[in-house]
Structures are given as structure tokens and as C-alpha cells.
Amino acid sequence: MSKVLVPLAMGFEEIEAMSIIDILRRAEVEVVIAGLGKKQVVGAHGVRVQTDAHIEDMNSSDFDMIVLPGGLPGATNLQKDDTVQKLLKEFDEQNKEIGAICAAPIALESAGVLSENYTYYPSFEANIREEGYTASQDVVSDKNIMTSRGPGTALEFGLAIVAKLCGAEKSAEIKSQLLL
């Protein structure tokens, strides 16, 4: 069974985080939700989430993938967190899977792990390099890095993660259950 780390920072985008976590758990992927600084984290729209652990206690060797939800100021909080930055570098050095949606690719760029080809939330160009950016795909996978555009693409992103970790058949099964 695959194991995925989902760090949540204050101001995370609720649709992205909850959709991805839910889809992964439906696929029987073990998901650990780790809070930055607190075990209860509040999203960008006031939703409170009780996390499983503190990010400081996480070790990259225990996981197959790390997935960062976006949202503001959640994505910038992930970008500024030393532990998240360290974990991203370790995941990349170990050639493990890394995912980021919406504004969260800024954390990947800060860690120096953003792939050559990627996508992110439209109109966020001033905060990230433009080379390699595409607006024509909702999910972009390049080497060990997978990125997606925003809340409306969260289900597609979650299903793409399931396909990568569990296979296309499992992803299709979950998609069918969701009536997509």
C-alpha cells in the first residue's frame, strides 16, 4: 500500500485538500495529514481540520509521495516552512513523487524541485517562473513532479495521483464511483 504525506498550513484551500485526501483514501492509499505548527489547521474559508501529526515529526523515508494543497495564504506558508522545504528536497533526491496544486508549486520552486513542465493557478505568473508553464492541461506530470491548476481540477488531480500510485484501473474504478 502506498503512503502519502499531505501537509496542511493555515489558509489551505479546502476543496483541494479534502478532495485529494478523500480520493486517495477511497483508493486505499494511506494518507497522513500533517499540520504546520498546530494539529488543528484552519483553511482559507474557515474550515477547521484536525491533523494526524505535526510536520516536524515527518520523515521522507516513510512515504511514497508528498502532495501540497494550494490556497492563500496556505501555499505561501508551505513555501516559507523550513521543514516542508527540507522534505521536498529529500523527496526529490530520493526520486519520490511530489504533487502540488493551485498556488502550491511556489513551494516546489523555492525548494528547487519544480519540474521543467508544470501548471498552477492562472494569474499567479508573477510569483513563479513562466518557462515550462502550460495553461492547456489541468494536470501536468513531468518526471516525479505532478501539478494541477486549482480547486476545479482537484478531483482530476486526485485521480491522476491514484493512477500513478495504484494504476489506471484503480483510478478508473474510483472515477466511476464518483460518477465522473
- The CATH number assigned to the domain holding 166 equals 3.40.50.880
Percent of the chain, pLDDT > 90? 92
The count of domains in the chain is: 1
Q: What is the pTM of this model?
A: 0.97
Residue 7: pLDDT band (50, 70, 90) is very high
More confident residue, 28 or 124: 28
Q: Which residues contact 112 (CB under 8 A, 6 or more apart)?
A: 89, 92
- 153 or 1, greater pLDDT: 153
Provide the residue range defining the domain that includes 146.
Answer: 3-177
Helix (H) or strand (E) holding 50: strand 48-50
Instruction: Kindly indicate the confidence band of residue 99, based on its pLDDT and cuts at 50, 70 and 90.
Output: very high
Contact at 8 Å (CB) between 123 and 150? no
Give the tens place of pLDDT for each residue, 146-157: 999 999 999 999
Q: What is the pLDDT of residue 125?
A: 65
* pLDDT at residue 80 greater than cutoff 80: yes
Cell of 53: 501529526
Q: Which of 17, 27, 32, 102 is catalytic?
A: 102
Answer yes or no: 166 catalytic.
no
